[in-house]
Amino acid sequence: MVRPTHASVDLDALVANYHAVERQLSASSVNPTPRIIAVIKANAYGHGATRVGLALERAAGSGSGSAPILACADIEEGIELRQAGIASQILIFGALGVSDLAGVFDHNLTPTVSSPSAAQALEVAAASRGVRLGVHLKIDTGMHRFGLRYDNLGATLPPVVRATHLDIEAVYTHFATAERDEYGLFNAQITRFETVRTDAQALGLDNVWWHAANSAALLRDRRTWYDAVRPGLLLYGVVPPPIETELALRPAMSVRSRLVAVKGLRPGETAGYGARFVARRPMRVAVVPAGYADG
């Protein structure tokens, strides 16, 4: 049986969105122009990571000419991208303890160091192979998920920077409230990250580059652009609400189906579990074979 419900992904729209972000960065007064770290974690937000990754790799090559960087959640996602033929640098965002570290070395992936124990595990693995491994260092400035606490780096960072088989290529953080900042945390995180940048040399962080901006921060505040930005939702044509933008974005995914039932509702009647929808006027409702028990 062929199901009538399907999702279609428009890779041309995806590429157009990538170039729209690229144009916004290059048209600004920021010099040098920040690089793009394209986020394709969680199967490219459901769009298909391998096909999206290959399309973005081609798009980056045909745009500014700079080598593209792709980012995913874990080592397994990175391996899948490599097996699809993707040659670009691949940054792993997530915790390393859930994966086999051999994949980092066997598939040329760039892991994130977000704890002293992660650094130690990578140092041991790199030393056993006789190689130096490029890594990104994550600083927790207020998200309280992964990363070395910004206010405890004097204790946690020294063993990381002393690791003789690790090269810290970049330092980054992640914003918790870039979309809507009623708590003032967004600006606080910027201030904390700036303090780390100011103290970088004293902390042993020499010749590194910096990144922080997710899609919302990229649109909201150029102070967060630094050396690279990390668009995720924007690439798929989604603007994080309530932010508005003049970027010419196109939805990359469309979902199509057909109706299997149509019926009328009188004013005051409800539809669905919990009676959450109330008809305010005479109207018709339709059932689509998708979702909770195809209702």
- Please, what are the averages of pLDDT over each run of 10 residues along the chain (295 residues)? 86 96 89 94 97 93 69 97 97 85 96 96 96 98 96 96 97 96 92 97 95 97 96 96 93 94 96 94 93 69
* Catalytic residue list contains 172: no
Q: Of residues 183, 226, 273, 292, which has the active-site annotation?
A: 273
- pLDDT at res. 294: 67
- pLDDT at res. 221: 95
217: left (phi over 0), alpha (psi -120 to 50) or beta: alpha
- pLDDT at res. 1: 62
* Cis peptide bond upstream of 242, omega within 30: yes
Strand spans (E) along 44-132: 69-72, 89-92, 112-113
Could you tell me the two tokens for 126?
Answer: 């790199």
- pTM of the full structure: 0.91
- pLDDT at res. 81: 98
- pLDDT at res. 65: 52
Q: What Rg do the C-alpha atoms of the chain give, in angstroms?
A: 22
- pLDDT at res. 98: 64
Could you tell me the two tokens for 268?
Answer: 């005051």
**Within 10 Å of residue 127's Cβ, how many Cβ atoms?**
15
Q: Residue 42 and residue 292: Cα distance in Å, rounded?
A: 22
* Catalytic residue list contains 41: yes
Cβ neighbours for 252, distance < 8 A, ≥ 6 positions apart: 9, 10, 11, 13, 14, 17, 47, 235, 236, 237
Could you tell me the two tokens for 273?
Answer: 């579990």
Q: Of residues 41, 45, 226, 236, which has the active-site annotation?
A: 41
- pLDDT at res. 3: 77
